[in-house]
A = this chain, B = another copy of it.
Amino acid sequence: MPKKCNFIEKLRELGLRPTKQRLNMCEVLFNREKTFHFTINDLVKMISEKMNQKISLATVYNTVHAFEKKGYLKEISIDSHKSYFDTNTSVHHHFFDEETNELIDCDENDIDPINIKKNIAGKKINSVEVLIKVASDNQNQK
A residues in contact (CB < 8 Å) with B: 75, 77-80, 83, 95, 97-98, 104, 106, 109-112, 114-118, 120, 122-137, 139-140
What separation, in Å, do the CA atoms of A86 and B42 have in the docked complex? 31
Copies of this polypeptide in the complex: 2
**Given B111, B117, B124, B137, which contacts A123 in the complex, CB threshold below 8 Å?**
B137
Question: B125, A132: Cβ atoms under 8 Å?
Answer: yes
User: Per a CB cutoff under 8 Å, which of B79, B111, B128, B136 touches A116?
Assistant: B111
Chain B residues positioned under 8 Å from A129 (CB to CB): 130-131, 133
Q: Is the interface of A mostly helix, strand, loop or mixed?
A: strand
Known: A95-B120, A124-B137. 15 other contacts (CB 8 A): A75-B79, A75-B80, A80-B80, A98-B126, A104-B120, A110-B117, A111-B117, A122-B137, A123-B134, A123-B135, A126-B135, A127-B131, A127-B133, A128-B130, A129-B133
